[in-house]
Amino acid sequence: MSDRRVVVTQRFFDEATISYLRENGCEVVIADLPPGQADGGLDHDTLVEALAGAAGWIVGHAKVTRELQQALPDLKIISRRGVGYERVDLDAARDLGKVVCIAAGGNDASVADHTLALMLAVGHRFRETQAKMIDGDFSILTGRDLFESTVGIIGMGRIGRSVAQRLQGFDCRILAVTQGDLPEATPANVKVTDLDTLVRESDYVTVHAPLTEATRFLFDAERIARMKPGSFLINAARGGLVDDRALLAALKKGTIAGAGLDVYLSESDASYREVTQELIALPNVIATPHAAASTQEGLARTNMVAARSVVAVLDGKDPAPETVVADGRPR
């Protein structure tokens, strides 16, 4: 059954999705990851050993290099349980005849919910308040409303639009930076503007752009300095969109009021680990460990989207168009 062997190197892979794969003739192998370790920490040799003979791979954050793909000649599809794909060499996949898919639409709701949670938590100073209460100090710290605030959304893809929809209940003024025209389903109170205007006028800025050469350090020291005094920066998209060292300096200086962070540069660059530790220790930072998509419901949805792409390719069919980011199969 090696022609339908599917290896999963992700935690929290639910039984319903495993059953779906098996019902479609797949041999499912769940990688035995060390406690607390994600596949992003697995080296080349470990991945080659785990994926030997696999036709499908459901992957999380492992770095999928050209060398790795060349070492796995049986591998037909690399299906990400997530929506980012900057860690996959797409050119290599096309050259080697492989398909790369993402779990488009699977985690939009979870990440959008998490984004609003970060906004509310940092704006209302939940962390600072609870820390004082634990120490026996029940005095009140005044926070900031999300209600009727100006929120800037950078990137109006599926998640950005989901955030905008949720903000309708808070009567927010929404500014957006996006590529192309807004879809018809976008709420009417979303106003497209330029990045400088957005950062200057927004009380909350939330980033939902892909990480590319053009967007790396989109928020550097200069852009953070242009943000509205007393504003908040939210990043639940990708580490690298924000220069974490510049953000740390701005938060210490009081240039902005706070930050809500789910992603960090240290995820891909170990030299930033100390910066991450300093950031998450600040009282005006709400931090989570790249967990925005990790709800039971969100993981089940993304598992199934990733699995459906695998089955489609192994059946010689085309996955859903919105999931395909590279297709090197001969036509």
Catalytic residues, by residue number, are 238, 267, 290
- Helical (H) or strand (E) element with 286: strand 285-287
**Burial class of residue 266, CB neighbours in 10 A (0-12, 13-18, 19+):** middle
What the block records as the tokens of 260 is: 């809500």
> Checking DSSP bridges between strand 285-287 and strand 204-207, what pairing results, if any?
unpaired
Q: What element of type H or E holds 240?
A: none
Distance CA 107, CA 162 (A): 10
Distance CA 314, CA 317 (A): 7
Residue 87: CB atoms within 10 Å:
18
Our separate counts of H helices and E strands in the chain read 12, 13
> What is the identity of the amino acid at 98?
K
64: helix, strand or coil: strand
Q: 326 by DSSP, 3-state: which? A: strand
Q: Of 181, 177, 175, 180, nearest to 204 (Cα)?
A: 175
Buried b or exposed e, range 209-226, using 16+ CB within 10 angstroms? bebeeebebbbeeebbee
3-class DSSP state of 115: helix
Nearest one of 319, 287, 290 to 39, comparing CA atoms: 290
